Structure formats: C-alpha cells, structure tokens
Structure 1
Amino acid sequence: MNTFFFSLKIHQDAFQAYYTGQARRVSVVAENGKRLELPAHVFRPFVNHQGVTGRFKVTIDDQYRLIQLERV
C-alpha cells in the first residue's frame, strides 16, 4: 500500500461540477510531487459551505485502487 498527503482547496461553486457528476475526477499533486487522479465522489463527505478544503491523506493499494481518504 502507498500513502500520499496533499492539500486541496476547491470553492463550493467550482465543486458543484464535481458534485453534479459533470466532472468525475479531481487531479491533485501530492506533497512528494506525484500527480494523483481521484474520483470526485470520494470528496463528498468533506464538502461544506466553503467547498472542499484541507489537508488529506489517501491510501491506495499496489494496483492503484483507493483504499481510504481522510482529512488530517
């Protein structure tokens, strides 16, 4: 398994495209410089009135499948 950390700030208006399904993936750059593409729906538990903000930890398996996403 691999663990990556990244910070994210998506304003609520911008996240609306993800929330409604118009955009399916969120592209982020992890703190180690690797680019990750994550399914947008995994961020829904973290949406608030500002959108999605914070520092996150993502764990993926050796086949690059998402195991866990959490705000840290």
Structure 2
Amino acid sequence: MTTTRRFQFSLNISPDEYLAYYRGTAKYIQTTTASGETIKFPASSLKKYLTHNGIHGHFEIEICENNKLLNINKINVKSDKNGIWL
C-alpha cells in the first residue's frame, strides 16, 4: 500500500510571473503550506488553473511516499477576516 501525503497552500501568481514558468526559465514553484512546510513542484502542474489574471486561490497537492506528485486540485477554504484558514 502506498502512503500519500496532502498539503494545502495558497497561491497568488500574476500573469507576468507565470510567464517565466511558461517560457521555461523557471520550472518549479516553491511555496509554504498552511502547516508551515516548504514544498516545491513542477509549474506545469498548474496550467489548467491559469487564467488571464494569473493563478490565484487555495490548492491541495497529493504526493506519494517518494515525493512524486500524484494530484493537485483547487479547493474552497473558509478564512476569517484576517485571512487565517478555518
């Protein structure tokens, strides 16, 4: 049985910032999860969430025990007035 781990995080990437990923000059996105851990994953995994405004929102990534990316999904997260996740 394969053990998987899930991490939640927020992204606010402008169209200009994502252009570096699109052109291939930057291949990975590094961010901090809601639990404070740093994760790094291929920028190409977010292409389906790219709009003319860039990539914005809350996401959940699932990785297997050898740190291979299995899935990434946009999620709905409730937060308080200060932006703290509930």
Both structures adopt the same fold (TM-score exceeding 0.5): yes
Identical-residue share of aligned pairs (%): 28
Instruction: Give runs of ≥4 in structure 1 deviating > 6 Å.
Output: none
TM-score by length of structure 1 reads 0.97
Residue correspondences, number: 72
Q: Work out whether 1:25 is the aligned partner of 2:28.
A: yes
- Corresponding residue for 1:6? 9
Matched position secondary structure for 1:56: strand
The CA distance in 1 between the partners of 2:49 and 2:22, in whole Å, is: 12
AA aligned to 1:29 is T
Structure 2 segments unaligned to the other structure (5+ residues): 76-86
1:63 to 42, 62, 66: 66
How far off is 1:48 after superposition?
Answer: 0.1
Structure 1 segments unaligned to the other structure (5+ residues): none
The CA distance in 2 between the partners of 1:11 and 1:47, in whole Å, is: 10
Higher Rg: 2
RMSD: 0.5
